[in-house]
């Protein structure tokens, strides 16, 4: 099943409508969709390396737009849409925990979760449910999602298809280590 999905995504990446698919999946991934946008971004970047920066920009802004949609769902439709989404992913408790964490850590949650492939949709729903201010949410989302997508574009520009395996298998670990370092730094600053 995964191989079939991967083959289908590869065909989408080669299609003339690849950018539109990227936009649709980036918006959906940040608000409701279960699969990371990287699954289509990487094949499109490999198929169209001359457009890497354009594609990373499009992906960033589409993901942020999806994040804003998730924020609005969390803020105004949590009972009717947000909670069923969380329940579908068995993440009811995670959403509630994130919502509570926004009261104390706000922007750090967005920066940390937006950089990793951990489900960004949970951050967007929780930010809205916590009524975290929309402007800092958008700005932090641009920074963190942009950093992720531009890093992928840069790695593929520099190393080409040979880096694909690294990005798909090891980038998550590297981004998680960066997140741990950031959290440790924030904890040390708070401690002292």
How far, in Å, CA of 160 to CA of 191, rounded? Answer: 43
Q: Percent of the chain at pLDDT above 90?
A: 31
Give domain limits for the chain. 2-191
Q: How confident is the model at residue 103 (pLDDT cuts 50, 70, 90)?
A: confident
**C-alpha pair distances (Å), 87 with each of 17, 67, 84:** 33, 19, 5
Q: What share of the chain is helix, strand, coil (3-state, %, to 5)?
A: 90, 0, 10
pTM tops 0.85: no
pLDDT of residue 23: 95
Residue 163 has pLDDT above 80, yes or no: no
Residue 29 sits at the vertex; the CA angle it makes with 26 and 30, to the nearest 5 degrees, is 90
Q: Percent of the chain at pLDDT above 70?
A: 81
**C-alpha pair distances (Å), 62 with each of 19, 25, 68, 160:** 11, 9, 10, 24
Average pLDDT over every residue of 72-87: 86
How far, in Å, CA of 136 to CA of 44, rounded? Answer: 30
Task: Judge contact between 138 and 68, C-beta under 8 A.
Answer: yes
pLDDT per position as a tens digit, 8-67: 777 888 888 999 999 999 999 898 887 788 888 988 998 888 999 999 999 999 999 999
- Return contacts of 73-77, CB within 8 angstroms, 24+ apart: 73/31, 73/32, 73/124, 73/125, 73/128, 74/124, 74/125, 74/126, 74/127, 74/128, 74/129, 74/130, 75/128, 75/129, 75/131, 76/128
- Report the candidate in 61, 57, 21, 11 with the shortest Cα–Cα distance to residue 153: 57
Helix axes 38-47, 164-191, angle to 10 degrees: 130
Q: How confident is the model at residue 138 (pLDDT cuts 50, 70, 90)?
A: very high
- Cα-trace Rg, the chain: 17
pLDDT of residue 99: 78
Q: Which of 24-28, 62-66, 107-111, 153-157 has the lowest mean pLDDT?
A: 107-111
Q: How confident is the model at residue 166 (pLDDT cuts 50, 70, 90)?
A: confident
pLDDT per position as a tens digit, 174-188: 666 766 766 666 565
Average pLDDT, the chain: 82
């Amino acid at each position: 099943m995964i191989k079939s999905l991967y083959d289908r995504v590869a065909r989408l990446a080669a299609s003339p409508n690849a950018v539109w698919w990227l936009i649709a999946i980036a918006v959906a991934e940040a608000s409701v969709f279960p699969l990371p946008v990287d699954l289509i971004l990487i094949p499109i970047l490999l198929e169209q390396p001359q457009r890497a920066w354009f594609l990373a920009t499009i992906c960033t802004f589409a993901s942020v737009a999806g994040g804003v949609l998730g924020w609005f769902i969390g803020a105004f439709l949590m009972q009717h849409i947000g909670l069923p989404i969380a329940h579908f992913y068995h993440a009811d408790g995670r959403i509630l925990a994130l919502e509570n964490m926004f009261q104390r850590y706000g922007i750090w949650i967005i920066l940390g979760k937006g950089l990793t492939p951990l489900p960004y949709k949970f951050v967007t729903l929780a930010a809205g449910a916590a009524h975290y201010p929309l402007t800092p949410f958008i700005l932090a989302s641009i920074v963190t999602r942009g950093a992720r997508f531009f890093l992928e574009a840069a790695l593929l520009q520099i190393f080409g298809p040979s880096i694909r395996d690294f990005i798909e298998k090891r980038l998550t670990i590297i981004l998680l280590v960066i997140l741990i370092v950031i959290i440790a730094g924030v904890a040390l600053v708070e401690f002292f």
